[in-house]
Amino acid sequence: LARPCGRMMGVGSEPKIPAVVRMGDGTRYAGLVSNFHPGGATLRLKEIDRGGSMVEIHDLDMYEVHAIFFVRELGLMRSHRKADPEDTVLPSGTQVRVLFEWGEAMEGVVDAPIGRRPGFFLKPATRTGNLIAVYVARQAVARVEPLRSTAIA
């Protein structure tokens, strides 16, 4: 997971990373995430409104979190990002399609076997968009399908 830019870092505190969180009941929160640890008990999210002001601080139960979409900038405040030729390089790992239990699908790259971990990271095939990576909780997955028989080096 890429480190957030300097303006998201607090002096002497944990990084605050822009993210959109999807809960098991379908609720979505957009804001700044801190204290994220795969397999941890809670996730702290400072919810941000459309104007960029903090709405509320949530301590979310990680068992209820189904996906965390880590982004470069919150979509509500996003400026257009120019593509960098180096950003089109595929990340290393295995290309997969993840079918979520709520009916959506997403393609990307996983860098380690999924196994029995509580969740895994799915990275977009290119880095030209706003999405950095998605932490996918195991309970959110209906199925994972490999897209290629060989891993990307």
pLDDT, position 52? 82
Nearest Cα residue to 98 out of 152, 150, 147, 141: 141
Record the pTM: 0.79
What's the confidence (pLDDT) of residue 101? 95
Q: Average pLDDT for residues 128-140, to the nearest whole number?
A: 91
Angstrom distance (rounded) from CA 91 to CA 32: 25
Average per-residue pLDDT for the chain? 81
